[in-house]
Structures are given as structure tokens and as C-alpha cells.
Amino acid sequence: MWFLFTIPLLLGDLVIAQEAAFNVPITPDDLDTGRPGAGFLTYSIEFATFPDYAGNLSSPNEFSHNLMNNVAELSGKKMYIRVGGNTQDMYTYNSSLDVALRGDYNLNRSRDYPTDNMQIGPSFFEAYKTWPGYTFSHGLNMGGNKHPNAWISLLETAEAACTLIGANAIEVWEYGNEPNGFPNSGQYSVRGPDFREERYVQEWLNGTQAVQEVVERHCPDMAGDAFHGWTAPSLINIQIMTRPQYADNPNRIVLNFTEVWAQGQNKTANVVQYGLHNYIDNALGPVTLAGTLLNHTRMRLAADYVLDLYKEVNTDLPLILSEHNSVALQGAPGLSNTFGAALWTIDMNLYAASRGIYRSHMHTGTNYRYQPWQPVETDRVAKGTKAPYYGQVAVAAFIGNNSETAVDVAHIPLAWNGNDNPWEVAYAAYVEDRLARIMLINMRESNYTHQRLNETASYDADRPLREFRLDIDLDDGTEVVVKRLRANGSDAITGITFDGWSYNYEVDNGKPVRLDNVTTGESIMITNRTLFVQLLDSEAVILDLQHVGSSSDREDPPVEATAARFLTQPLALMLGIVVLWAV
């Protein structure tokens, strides 16, 4: 019989020291802990592709719905989803349009979405009804896209949104996407050089006030105190704007987040969440899988940068990554769509959680490189579940159901003799102050394609295993449940499983299916208060200490001892030896 085992290990009692290459003892003070909000891992869906993702009432997108439900099931909450992005500042509302959305592509502006003459009609709002129980923000157009009717359209959209989405499905409102880009888009700039902090906030206050008046008039159930509030400022991480395509522009306008806030964006007292957008770099590079995404040091630089900006703003509202993903400009092929990006997704999101970030909206759009799934078939990308989704599931599984019971996440720094360690990564999850789960990530690149091309090498032998040793205060004989996130290598884009589960479209339309050709049910026995676990290069593992068993209490036949399989595999390298112990 399996039973719930309580670990006599309290938060603050975990001490980490490192052996071999690792020799720096780490005290509990080194652990950053944060408490993610319920529904922490969620989505931001590109405005123009929301009808693809959600469908409409007569033809709902069940595949998307299934994938969302998987995450909701793990996290215990149907999430709040943001509908917005670059295209939210490009549309006008047309009450007689008989399709959800229409627009023209202008390849000079983007090949990823329509940018010109974009209109939405009333049926756009049907999409919000296809995923009952989820809540949304509908991105309102602030930029205007140089459209003469932008202001009238804003007021009409507000009326349509409040009446057609309804109070129950609206979480918050958002006005404008990344306004700090408005004056910086060359010939497509929608504001001039006078669009500084003061001007932006003035416009924002004017527009949001007008929208609230419309909502008050047409949707009395959202009037006054019942108004759901705003997410703001939706600015993009300034660091991204120092990248090549912006830096080349000597007239670049950089809005200072602290000054934006100080200008009185909170004057209406209706900003309920402080949302920033973050990408760790952008697709124009130089970016590589090993150097950028599979690089814990690089991830921390980018995350700490946005955390520092937030700290400087000095607001008491929680920080939300309201649009977030690997590299900006919809991701880079061979990076953002790979299994390596799934490992980055875990690292980035758990680090964010450990630093107190309240929620993370992973951005997606039809045909995007960093998309977790492609909702419809197009001539560019096949409909299906993509590699990053598996990392998102692992994040949701690791944090677990925190809808009613708080979960704290700690980042466990595994520095090598004081130097940054870009490859071995560890996090701990505490439920009611008890250590419940440990996430280990081996971020070393393992290029499957490259190895396969090398006919002299056996694939398995070429992919090193690294052993992590954890000294842990559990009785000898305790079996810790192991859940692995695996693929053939960091460059894999298919064949990914989490704990033996597939969420692939072609398997069962995104519903979880336990594959019978993947090893599952692995557990590792504690001996001498020590747990050894081995990870292939480019692999992540969750050690579940909440649902442990004991070898003496097991009635069911012992699951095939898969741990043994790993132990007998040749160890190409033995590195990353980590010692955790309780004092």
C-alpha cells in the first residue's frame, strides 16, 4: 500500500553542501523562496490568433481545451488567460462583420500575423465562451494602428466586450500592449518622440476612464466597485530594447518604469496587477540553444533584470509576467520549439516563482516558434502539441494544486566553488512548510540529431548520465516516486513524455495518455539516508516526497525496478554530485 509520508524536514532546515567539483556549503539563507499564485502557469494568446486557439460556439477548439484542462487539473484552478499582444493594438471593431476576425498580412511588418486593416466582429467574443470556467482579459487597442476611428472603436469594443464576454468570464482589463514600443517601430511607429512617461500615462488614464464609463453604462454588473480593474503597465523589459534592432535606432525612446508609475498610473486605484512582459533575448540573436536557453546563468541574468526593475518601481502589487516566453519575435526555430526550450520553461518559471513572481502567462500564437501548441493546421505548421508544452506541464505538476493550500518554491543554487553553474539546476517545493518535491534539471545540451549522424557512436553511450546525490532525512527503505521529463535530446521536437504521459494531438486530441512503450512507475529507494538519482544530459526529474512508499509496506507487486536500468547504464561522466542534508 502506498501511503502519505510526512517528511520531518522544515523549511529552513535544508542545508546543502557540495562534494567533488562542488565544495561550497550553502546555508538556508541562500534559498530564495516565493509563493506562486493559484493558476501560476497560464497563457497569453496572441490577439489575432485567439479565434484559432478557442474556436467558436458551433466549432469550439477541443484540442486547445484539453491541453488547458491538463494544466488546470494539475494546478487545481482553471486559469486566467490574457488575450493580447502586438495585434491587440491593430484592430478596430466592426459590429457588422460576419467573421470573428479579418486582416491583411503585410510582410514588411510581420509574416506571423495580419497587421493591416484588421477588424473583429461580434463573433470574436464567442471564443471566450468555448472554455467555461476560465477567465480572461480582452486586449483593448491603445496604439490605434493609425486608424482614424480608433477612439470610437475603443468605446464600441468596450461595450461589446462587457456585454458579450460577461462579468463572470472577465478577470481584468488591459489597455495597450508594450506601449514602450509605440514610438520605436520605424515607419510603423504609432506615436512620436513626445510619447514619454507623462504622455503615455495621460493617454492611459484618459482611455481607461472612458472605457470604465462605457462599461458602467452598458454592464451595470461591472459598474463602480464591481469593475474588475486593470492590468498595467504591460511594458516590455527594457533590456530587450537594447538588442540590435532597437539599438541601431539613435532616436529610440526608453520609458522608465519607475517614472511611469510615479506619473500616476495608479491614480484611478483600479490597477489590480502589475504586469510586465519579458523575453530573455530576441530571435535576431545572437542566440543559441546551449548558450541562451540551456543556460541557467543566462536565464537568471534576464529574470533578475526584470525583478530589479520591479523592485525599483516599489509597488505593493504582485509582479506578473503578463506576456512571457523564450526569445522575442515569436521565438527562433531550432531553439524555441525544442525540448531544450521545455527545460528552459521549467527553469525560468520555477525561478520566477521562487523570486515571488505571482503568475506567468506563457505567450503563444498560431505558427509561433515558441508556441506550446499549434491550434489549427496551417501551411506553415502542423496542428499539434509542441515541445514547450511538456515543460509547462512539468511546472504545473511540480507546483501542484495550490488553489487552497499554499506551496512555496525555493531555488537551490548549485554553484561550483562560487562560480555560476549554468547546467545543474535544482528547486524544492514546500507544502505547508514541508519539503514535498524536488525538481532537478540537467541542462547540458544533448544533440540527438548530431549523435544520430555519427554512425560510429552508440546513441546511449554518447549521452552522458550525471548522478545527483541527495542526503535526505527519510527512513531507509523509503521509495521516492520519480517522474521524468524526457526526449531523445535537447533538439527533439517530438517524442516527448512527462512521467510516461503523452499529450499529443495525434494520440488523443491532447488528453493525457499513458504510453505503454515508456518506462513509468519508477521509484528510488533511500539507503543510508541517501538518494542517488541519475539524469541524462537534457532531462528533468521530479522527486515526489509526498507520495512515497516503503518497500516493506507495499502490497502491489514491485514495479519494474527501472532505477536499476539507469544504474547499469555506462556512466560516461559522473558529475553534478549534490548533497542535501537536514540539520
Ligand X SMILES: *[C@@H]1O[C@H](CO)[C@@H](O)[C@H](O)[C@H]1NC(C)=O
Catalytic residues: 197, 323
Q: How far is the CB of 209 from ligand X (least distance, A)?
A: 8
Using rule CB under 6 A, residue 316 touches ligand X: yes
* Nearest distance in Å: CB 286, ligand X: 10
CA distance linking residue 67 with residue 74, whole number of Å: 11
Establish if 141 lies at the interface with ligand X (CB under 6 A). Answer: no
**Torsion of Cα atoms, 454 then 459 then 463 then 464, to 10°:** -110
Q: How far apart are the first and last CA of the chain?
A: 30
CA distances from 176 to 145, 182, 426, 511 (A): 11, 10, 37, 35
Cβ distance 18 to 577 under 8 Å?
yes
Site string for ligand X, 518-557 (x = CB under 6 A): ----------x-----------------------------
**Residue 194 touches ligand X, criterion: CB under 6 A:** no
The DSSP bridge partners found for residue 60 are 55
Residue 220 vs 574, nearer CB to ligand X: 574
Among 28, 103, 291, 521, binds ligand X (CB under 6 A): 291
For residue 50, give the nearest of 92, 96, 82 by alpha carbon. 82
Sheet holding 101-104, edge to edge: 91-93, 116-120, 101-104
Residue 467 makes contact with ligand X by CB under 6 A: no
Backbone angles phi, psi at 103, to 5 degrees: -175, 160
- Residues in contact with ligand X, counted by CB under 6 A, come to a total of 51
On whether the CB atoms of residues 54 and 333 are closer than 8 A, the answer is no
Residue with cell 555506462: 570
Q: Does 168 bind ligand X (CB under 6 A)?
A: no
Considering the complex, state which of residue 220 and residue 424 has its C-beta at the smaller distance from ligand X.
Answer: 424
Binding mask 202-221 for ligand X (x = CB under 6 A): ----x---------------
**Exposure letters 253-274 (e unless 16+ CB within 10 A, then b):** bebbbbebbebebbebebbbbb
The interface with ligand X within residues 44-63 (CB under 6 A) comprises 55-56, 58-59
Q: Which residue has the cell 505538476?
A: 397
Residue 488 binding ligand X, by CB under 6 A: no
Q: Which stretch binds ligand X (CB under 6 A): 37-45, 251-259, 385-393, 472-480?
A: 251-259
For 430-493, give the DSSP string: EETTEEEEEEEEE-----HHHHHH-TTS-HHHHS-EEEEEEE----TTEEEEEEEEE-S-TT--
SS (H, E, C) 485-550: EECCCCCCCCCCEECCEECCHHHHCCCCEECCCCCCCCEEECECCEEEEEEECCEEEEEEEEEEEE
User: Using CB under 6 A, which residues numbered 93 to 122 contact ligand X?
Assistant: 94, 96-100, 106, 108
Shortest distance (Å) from residue 9 CB to ligand X: 18
Q: Does 24 help bind ligand X (rule: CB under 6 A)?
A: no
396 backbone dihedrals φ, ψ, rounded to 5°: -65, -40
Residue 555 CB, shortest distance to ligand X, in Å, is 25
Q: Does 315 bind ligand X (CB under 6 A)?
A: yes
Which secondary-structure segment (H or E) carries 398?
helix 387-399
Q: Is 449 in the site for ligand X (CB under 6 A)?
A: yes
Q: Report the C-alpha gap between 412 and 487 in whole angstroms.
A: 25
In this chain, which residue has its C-beta nearest to ligand X?
291
Chain-centre distance for alpha carbon 282: 16
Q: What angle do CA 382, 388, 390 make, to 5 degrees?
A: 105
Q: Which of residues 401-440 bind ligand X (CB under 6 A)?
A: 401, 403-404, 422
CB of 427 to ligand X, least distance (A): 19
Q: Which helix (H) or strand (E) holds 399?
A: helix 387-399
Q: Is 295 in the site for ligand X (CB under 6 A)?
A: yes
The smaller minimum CB distance to ligand X, of residues 98 and 556, is found at 98
Of the candidates 376, 518, 374, 511, the one whose C-alpha atom is nearest the C-alpha of residue 71 is 511
Under rule CB under 6 A, residue 152 binds ligand X? no
Of 249, 256, 520, 562, the one binding ligand X by CB under 6 A? 256
Q: Exactly one of 447, 478, 538, 550 binds ligand X (CB under 6 A); which one?
A: 447
Decide: is 356 part of the binding site for ligand X (CB under 6 A): no
Which residue, among 235, 218, 229, 223, has the nearest Cα to 173 in the 3D structure?
Answer: 229
**Is 361 near ligand X (CB under 6 A)?**
no
Q: Smaller CB distance to ligand X: residue 96 or 568?
A: 96
Q: Is 187 in the site for ligand X (CB under 6 A)?
A: no
The verdict on 259 binding ligand X (CB under 6 A) reads: yes
Residue whose CB is less far from ligand X, 12 or 192: 192
Point out which residues bind ligand X (CB under 6 A). Answer: 55-56, 58-59, 73, 76, 94, 96-100, 106, 108, 123, 151, 206, 256, 258-259, 266, 269, 289-291, 295, 297-298, 301, 312, 315-317, 334, 401, 403-404, 422, 447, 449-450, 453-454, 456-457, 462, 491, 507, 515, 517, 528
